[in-house]
Structure 1
Amino acid sequence: MKRLAFSLIAGAVTLALTACNGDDGAQGQKGAQGEQGPTGQNGVDGTDGANGQDGANGQDGANGQDGKDGKNGSAGLVRIATVPNGAEVTGLYLTDKGDLFFNVQHPADSNTVAANGKTFNKGTVGVLTGVDFNNLPNNIVSSPVPATEQEQQTVITAIGQYQVLGQTGDVFSDLGAKGVTGGLGVHYGINTKQEIIKNDNPDFNGFIATSDNEGYLFTNWESYPGGMSRLKMSKDTKGTWSVTEAMMVNFDGVQGTAANCFGSVSPWGTPLTSEEWIVNSKVDTTTDASWNDPSDTRTDGIEALVAPDFPNPYRYGYIAEVQNPTSTSPDVVKHFTIGRYEHENSVVMPDRRTVYSSQDDTGGVLFKFVADQPEDLSSGTLYGAKLKQDAGLSDPAVTGFDIEWVELASGSNANIETWVAQYDNITTADYVEGKTSYISMADVQAWADGKATYPTEAEGGSPVTAGKPMDDRVAFLESRQAARLKGATAEWRKLEGISINHDRVLEAVTGQDLIAGEVVNKAYMYIGIADLDNTMIDDQGDIQLSARVKDCGGVYRAAIDNNYNLTRIEPVVMGATYRSSLTGAERCDVNQLSQPDNVIVMRDGRIIIGEDGFQENNTLWLYDPKSK
């Protein structure tokens, strides 16, 4: 996630023109003077002229509109918090009660300054206390850009206090048997049961409430192998949280997870965790996969998941749903139906069927999945977005895109897993130089061309499917390449967190009165883009933006129609002009966005943005789209 800061200063200039008094009337002539006679009387004074009109007052400079009525609001971006040296802002999650969770991901291990007894030199999960973000004032003043060592190595906030809930390795020994064996963020091999890694990368947070002041906080730990913690917590009358139970979720039933990144909570109350790194889709589409090459099995440690066996890469790269999340042992289901790619996160619309997913990669795709039945993601149809850029425009701050949806295929978890299983027994012994043991680009092309059978090995086909009748495995196991060859736009660069406010969208679509004090008749899905770079600025394909903003990134929004369909994408707030002549943090203005990652939508329409950037201290921003 990257960070950029944007501040808009509204000034008021008043011009007052002072009224002028009218001139006196002309003096009357004196009467003629007689010879020694009395002096003639003075002429009568003329009446006063009418007063001149007051000059018009100059107009006040426009104030930034607030999230509700546009009055007395802070303008543009407000710096809600900064995180310590080396850290990203991750895990943004806002509860129905207004609690804002966020994490300090991989801070510098050289940080030594303590705040409230905690040193930020390892991954940290936390929450802002003492403030209700569902009733946030409109006149918050930004927290300062950190200047001192104390500020640079701790969390500084503009409102509320940051409470640390847990850090990497915490076992919660005071909870006894209800603590975490090994500690938060500790991952074990499925077969070996040996500790593989202590992970400093807490990412997604999702809170499942069990009462007004109690519930379970799920946190992704982004690494190979992946992981997710669950903290049972309660909140006192002062807004301070206490952890009463802690565990790491067991993913053995799905043969582990890979790099659990961002995520969301479904409308029916289940966490959706995203697998990211394993897919490694390439813009160079002439290269077939060679995961089992014995001279190069670098999969960032994923082989440790099932060591001593070689893993099946097609078992990773999906959305996994944590079902029965408050039970003693939650169930985990991987939804192959939503496609295999570098998932940043998925968002389920209020119809409980339509799911949008972002691909965090160079040359990525925006995907849509429509389930056959509400609250059941195990079967449905997968689509890719085809974009049409606004004619005559290229600057990221003003250029939008119309959307069409390209249907890829329909399937179910059950039938897709039968395809996945066909690659389970592939090892390094099966590797042949110059060939692939996995789905080849020739296979993908044959599927896209509507061929009746897969190509033979001599024609570049995979040995698993060579010459066999065609099926739709390509759409679900190599989703990015399948979408690209079917005509979807595969040109996003670091398509990051996507988010909606469920109630705002539901009110806009159905007309139900859900948002107090506001009539919502139009709603959006918000999209964070860390880099507007590479395939977005290469003057090719559907996205041909200028390179002005480049690695400073920005936030888009996508309009949602009455069928929960995304119809158009347009910019909301962009970073400053990227200064390639400078180095480090100076390349992007510290007071504007710098590589945004996660974004969440508040009930009043304002958005909260977390940076994943190269600023010295990444920022958590509050932005009101109505200020634009």
Structure 2
Amino acid sequence: MKRTSIALAVAVALSAGIAQAGTLRFSEVPVPSDDASKREVTASPSVRIDGRTHRIGYNTLLRSGDQVGNSALAWGTLVDVDGVPLHDDAGAPVISVYPDHSSLITGDDGRLYSITQFEDSIGAIYLTGLRQGRDGRLLPTRTRPLDLSGVNGTWTHCAGMVTPWGTHLGAEEYEPNAADPDILSNRYFSPVAAYFGEDPANIDADTTRLNPYNYGFPVEVKVGDYEHVDVAKHYAMGRAAIELAYVMPDRRTAYISDDGTDVGLYRFVADQPADLSAGYLYAARWRQSDDAGAGDGVIEWINLGHASDTDIRPFIDARGSFDDIFERDQPGCTSIRTATGQECLTVRDGMEQIASRLETRRFAAMRGATTEWRKMEGITYNPDKHTMYMSMSEIGKGMLDKNDGGNNDIRLQENPCGAVYALELDGNFAATRMHGLIEGRPVAGDPSNSCDLAAIANPDNLTFIPGYDTLIIGEDTGSGHQNDAVWAYDLSKSSLTRIETTPYGSETTSVYFYPNVGGHAYMMSVVQHPYGESDQDKLIQGSGDDRAYVGYIGPFPAMDVQSREHEHRGRDEHHRHDEHHEHQGRRRR
């Protein structure tokens, strides 16, 4: 299997346009109604594609703590800078229940792998070898954590994608606040000291290797073979609470979503195709034209300048500080409101480039960009309509009409159930307009289901099925829906079908569609932290039910453009063959 097989499947956007869209209908999964069903992962048992029914379902590849073959460590074991397992206070290895994006990747050796990143403060990325059966079933054969020491470890991985050139592109969410004088004792950040073999309770500020500017970047992983993997952080793309960096089919443009409260939207344009190490960074400004529903607005782009990875990394390695970049509360300072609150800052002379990449949100706000978004999440692209989709898990806080020191660009009504937006793109993949596509619906009366069960709740990861006009929406909701779901949204009919539900307290992550991997299509789907966000009292102690799942819905038949055209030609030839024999039979009669 060549590396290009998955890359071409993911970049099927370049083939945009079969003349007639295919038909796709999933069998619906019911709302879990009893205790047993609320403990299960349930997915559509069948799907009808272009008039033919196929059996599918949820297939588990791995669960937290699984031993895979003769691998040295259980899958999900967190390790330190030397690859030694971390241990909890009881002396047991720390095994994560927070896998997030899990990619299917073809290595340079032609073999199939999974790259899974974990949403822990001490981040981990696991490489897992996969074997594909003739029926399309995938089986893990071996697994190992990647060596992340070359990038000083990673942090709180969230969503990801497979780039058009076949690499895994992940991200680091909720960047540590470098302006906080007590950041080294922050209860979320200080545990990272254990990665470097330091005691989180006794961090020496003069000698520690802990540095907030190490974290908050896109992370790219290129697989040569099982033993040879390259990991790079792309400092040129900026630093934020990065949910996802999503590369467009032009192989240069990447959209970067910023997760949190009072955050921004960014667009990176690389100097060279398939090389994210240098380029220009832009921040969006929303010019609202309609406040109905999730709103409608024109998007303008503010240029934050050019940088390369090598321009930025030396400042980090030299342990440059926030106060090396900015002055605070000096005459002539610029007042901004971002995720870190109200501030008045001045960029020090000569530090604009560093500010743009290490304090991207603050710098963007100083340049006039909109930093009012709330819980900006997943991104995907529809090649058939040249449209991008982006989820907003909630509409609230900075997105409401209030003057609290920011621009007050966004002035919408609150919707705690969130929305998915459509973004219109120009010929250079720059978004020009953004408007609400589908929204959740708040309801009263059930504290465990505060959003309508027939609608989305707190949308998170997105993926699109090219050629079938279908957008897949995964949820990350606490009380919106007691059991988080994955939905198929038929754009032509504006109709939703529930295609997966997950156990109590789970989050759906990593929904991502692969049109053709070795002759089969797959929809990856991860179930993170069962019994974690809610209903902790439902967990049966010692059952292991709180272990996360990495798996896929499928397998489907190949659904890329080439496979569909081949299938249609085959049907046409079969039809002509039948007509010929029928005609010959009539002649003989």
Distance 1:326 1:543 in 2: 47
Q: 1:559 aligns with which of 424, 428, 435?
A: 424
CA distance in 2, matches of 1:143, 1:237: 27
**8 Å CA contact 2:217, 2:239 repeated in 1:** yes
Q: Quote the offset at 1:250 in angstroms.
A: 1.6
Q: CA deviation at 1:312?
A: 0.8
Deviation by residue 1:165-188 (Cα, 9 ceiling, x = unmatched): 11111121xx22xx2x33122111
Asked whether the equivalents of residues 247 and 255 of structure 2 are also in contact (C-alpha less than 8 Å), the reply is yes
- Cα-to-partner distance string for 1:98-119 (whole Å, 9 max, x where unaligned): 9xxxxxxxxxxxxxxxxxxxxx
Pick which of 590-599 and 154-163 moved more. 154-163
* Residue 528 (structure 1) aligned with residue 387 (structure 2): no
1:186 maps onto 2:73 in alignment: no
- Specify which of 409, 414, 428 is matched with residue 542 of structure 1: 409
Match of 2:174 in 1: 277
Any conservation in 1 of the 2:83–2:147 contact (CA below 8 Å)?
A: no
Q: 1:441 to 1:298 in 2, by over 3 A?
A: farther
Return the alpha-carbon distance in structure 1 between the equivalents of residues 109 and 149 of structure 2: 32
C-alpha distance in structure 2 between counterparts of 1:225 and 1:561, whole Å:
39
CA separation in 2, counterparts of 1:613 and 1:299? 24
Identify the match of residue 451 of structure 2 among 560, 565, 588.
Answer: 588
Distance 1:328 1:444 in 2: 53
| Cα distance, 1:193 vs structure 2 | 3.1
The separation in 2 between residues aligned to 1:199 and 1:443, in whole angstroms, is: 42
Q: Secondary structure at the match of 1:245?
A: strand
The answer to whether the 8 A contact 1:444-1:481 is kept is no
Cα separation, 2, equivalents of 1:317 and 1:444: 27
Are residues 185 and 584 of structure 1, via their aligned partners in 2, closer, same or farther at CA, if it must alter by over 3 Å?
Answer: farther
Q: Which of residues 223, 242, 258 in structure 1 aligns to 2:139?
A: 242
State the TM-score, normalized to the length of structure 2.
Answer: 0.69
Q: Does 1:146 align with 2:32?
A: yes
**Structure 1 position 241, deviation (Å):** 1.5
**Residue 105 of structure 2 corresponds to residue 204 of structure 1:** no
Partner of 2:485: 619
Q: Secondary structure at 1:301's aligned position in 2?
A: helix
1:192–1:307 Cα contact (<8 Å) kept: no
CA distance in 1, matches of 2:291, 2:35: 41
Q: Structure 1 residues 558 and 96 mapped into 2: Cα distance closer, same or farther (>3 Å)?
A: same
Q: Which residue number corresponds to residue 521 of structure 2? A: none
Of 111, 116, 127, 1:230 maps to 127
Is 1:335 paired with 2:226?
no
Shift of 1:618: 0.7
1:492 and 1:589, CA in 2 relative to 1: closer, same or farther beyond 3 A? Answer: same
User: CA–CA distance in 1 between the matches of 2:249 and 2:262?
Assistant: 29
Of 480, 489, 500 in structure 1, the residue corresponding to residue 381 of structure 2 is: 500
For the residues of structure 2 that align with 1:329 and 1:279, how far apart are their CA atoms?
Answer: 30
Structure 1 residue 261, shift from structure 2 partner: 0.8
Query: How has the CA–CA distance of structure 1 residues 626 and 95 changed in structure 2, closer, same or farther, with 3 Å as cutoff?
Result: farther
Confirm or deny: 8 A CA contact 2:460 2:475 kept in the other structure: yes
> Structure 1's 292 and 357: CA in aligned 2 closer, same or farther, altered over 3 A?
closer
In 1, Cα distance between equivalents of 2:330 and 2:358: 10
1:253 aligns with 2:167: no
8 Å CA contact 1:289–1:438 kept in 2: the answer is no
Displacement after TM superposition at 1:136 (Å): 8.1
Q: Taking every aligned residue pair, what percent have the same amino acid on both sides?
A: 30
Alignment partner, residue 568 of structure 1: 433
Partner secondary structure for residue 195 of structure 1: coil
| Among candidates 178, 181, 189, match of residue 299 of structure 1 | 189
Give 1:209's aligned amino acid: T
Does the CA-based 8 Å contact 2:104-2:115 persist in structure 1?
Answer: yes
Deviations 1:582-605 (A, max 9, x none): 453331111110101000011123
* Residues 395 and 244 of structure 1: CA distance in aligned 2, closer, same or farther (over 3 Å): same
SS in 1 for 2:303: strand
Letter in 2 for 1:260: H
Asked if structure 1 preserves the Cα contact closer than 8 Å seen for 2:183 and 2:189, the reply is: no
> 2:546 corresponds to which residue?
none
Matched residue type, 1:157 = A
The change in CA–CA distance for 1:444 and 1:417 in structure 2 (over 3 A counts) is farther
| Helix, strand or coil at the partner of 1:420 | helix
RMSD over aligned CA atoms reads 3.0
1:596/1:612 contact within 8 Å kept: yes
Q: 1:442 aligns with which of 328, 337, 351?
A: 328
The DSSP-based 3-state class of the residue aligned with 2:228 is coil
SS in 2 for 1:539: coil
Query: What is aligned with 1:48?
Result: none
Among 455, 472, 478, the alignment partner of 1:608 is 472
Determine if the alignment matches structure 1 residue 365 to structure 2 residue 264.
yes
The structural deviation recorded for 1:95 is: 9.0
- Superposed CA deviations along residues 357-414 of structure 1, whole A, max 9, x for unmatched, are 0000101111011111111111111110011111xx32324x2111110001211111
Distance in 1 of aligned mates of 2:32 and 2:306: 51
Structure 1 residues 255-404: aligned runs within 5 Å: 255-280=152-177, 288-292=179-183, 296=186, 298-299=188-189, 301-308=191-198, 309-390=208-289, 393-397=290-294, 399-404=295-300
Query: Which structure: greater strand fraction?
Result: 2
Rounded to whole Å, the distance in 2 between the matches of 1:445 and 1:206 is 49
Q: CA–CA distance in 1 between the matches of 2:397 and 2:177?
A: 16
Give deviations 1:469-506, integer Å, cap 9, x for gaps.
444211111100100110111011010011125xx2xx
Q: Post-superposition shift, 1:446?
A: 7.9
Pick the aligned partner of 2:363 from 466, 477, 482. Answer: 482
SS in 2 for 1:564: coil
> Residues 362 and 300 (structure 1 numbering): CA distance in 2 closer, same or farther, change over 3 Å?
farther
Instruction: Name the TM-score, length of structure 1 as normaliser.
Output: 0.65
Structure 2: distance between partners of 1:362 and 1:626: 33
**Structure 1: runs of 5+ lacking an equivalent:** 1-93, 99-134, 282-287, 427-435, 450-459, 505-519
* Amino acid corresponding to residue 341 of structure 1 in structure 2: A
In 2: Cα distance, 1:146 partner to 1:545 partner: 33
Count of aligned positions? 439
8 Å CA contact 2:7, 2:164 repeated in 1: no
Deviation per CA, 1:122-143, whole angstroms, max 9, x where unpaired?
xxxxxxxxxxxxx985343311
**Greater Cα offset, 322-331 or 255-264:** 322-331
Find the residue that maps to 2:492 and give its secondary structure.
helix
* Distance apart, 1:437 and its partner CA: 5.7
Q: 1:137 to 1:230 in 2, by over 3 A?
A: farther
Runs of 5+ in structure 2 lacking a partner?
A: 1-5, 11-20, 46-55, 88-93, 199-207, 336-343, 495-589
2:176–2:189 Cα contact (<8 Å) kept: no
User: In the aligned structure 1, how far is the partner of 2:28 from the partner of 2:163?
Assistant: 32
Deviation at 1:213, TM superposition (A): 11
